[in-house]
Amino acid sequence: CLSSGKPKGVETLVRWQHPDDGLVYPDQFIATAEAAGLISEVTLCVLDAALKQARRWSDAGLDLSVAINVSMDDLSALDLPETVAREADRAG
C-alpha cells in the first residue's frame, strides 16, 4: 500500500532447488510437468506451502492476501474450487 508503506499481499513464486543444477526457474520445468500430467501435483505442493506460510503470517498478526499462479490445466479442472477450499480449511 503506497499510502501506508505496508504490504497488502504477496505472490507465490515457484522455484525448484535441484541438488546439482541449483535454482531452476519455472520456465524450465512447468511445461514438462504439464506434458507429463504432473502439474496438478506441482500446484498442490505450491498451494500447500503458500497456505502454511499464510497461516504463519496470520498468526503473527499480518493480514496479507496470497496469490498463486495456476496452470490452465488446473483451471479447467472442475474440482479446483473444492480442492482449494479443502486445502485452505486444512491450513486454517
18-56 burial, b for 16+ CB within 10 Å, e for fewer?
A: eeeeeeeeeeebbeebbeeeebbebbeebbeebbeebee
Separation CA 21–CA 14 (nearest Å) = 16
Question: For 32-71, what is each residue's pLDDT tens digit?
Answer: 999 999 999 999 999 999 999 999 999 999 989 999 999 9
* pTM value > 0.95: no
Contacts of 23 (CB under 8 A, 6+ apart): 15, 16, 17
For 17-26, the pLDDT digits (tens) are 999 999 999 9
